[in-house]
Copies of this chain bind each other. A is one copy, B any other.
């Protein structure tokens, strides 16, 4: 029997990560988010910081140029494609082990044929997300709007490149929720209730 997995894709600042943790806690199953980065770093040999930066966001500029500029190849792959292959393997292995929540990293796509997934997308409006990232990560030289736009863009490009699907297209998820409208607690309750 396929394991039941909750995959959570989320807009930056929407609280998707927190929702993932709380859903996992409520269901008594593990949640993989930062743990995923550590596992991928371990298996790939890349630094955690590199994995964190590259494992779900497109790099600035063309990925093709980045790949061209990169002199090293890993198993004949560009660093990012190699990272993608390790990441896919890590996520597939975790899904084999038992039920869990996986936050981000295209897990919905990676597990499309091998696990019984509840595919969730969490979003919120600009204002609510801006407030949240300033509260969580502090102010920077860039405006919250710029940070949100850039992060969303990078995530969306990355997702599209590896999955050929549109990030945030409702049809790619079983349920999509506006955490700004319903609040974190209600989203957790809804998702855990559907599991």
Where the two chains meet, the residues of A that have a C-beta atom closer than 8 Å to any C-beta of B are: 11, 121, 123, 168-171, 173-178, 181-182, 186, 190, 194
Contacts and interface: CB of A to CB of B under 8 A. Distances in A.
A175 B174 contact: no
Nearest to A125: B171
B178 A177 contact: no
Contact of A190 (B11, B176, B190): B190
A174 B170 contact: no
Contacts of A121: 170, 176
Given A168-B169, A170-B176, A186-B194, 7 more contacts: A168-B170, A169-B170, A170-B170, A175-B175, A175-B177, A176-B176, A182-B194
Nearest to A190: B190
A178 B168 contact: no
Contacts of A170: 121, 123, 168-170, 173, 176
A182 B175 CA distance: 9
A186 B168 CA distance: 23
Q: Sort A-B residue pairs by CB-CB distance and give the 6 closest, nearest first.
A: A170-B176, A176-B176, A170-B170, A174-B178, A174-B181, A123-B171
Contacts of A176: 121, 170, 173, 175-176
* A121, A169, A182 — most chain B CB neighbours (10 Å): A169
A173 B177 CA distance: 8
Contacts of A177: 174-175
Contact of A173 (B178, B190, B194): B178
Nearest to A178: B174
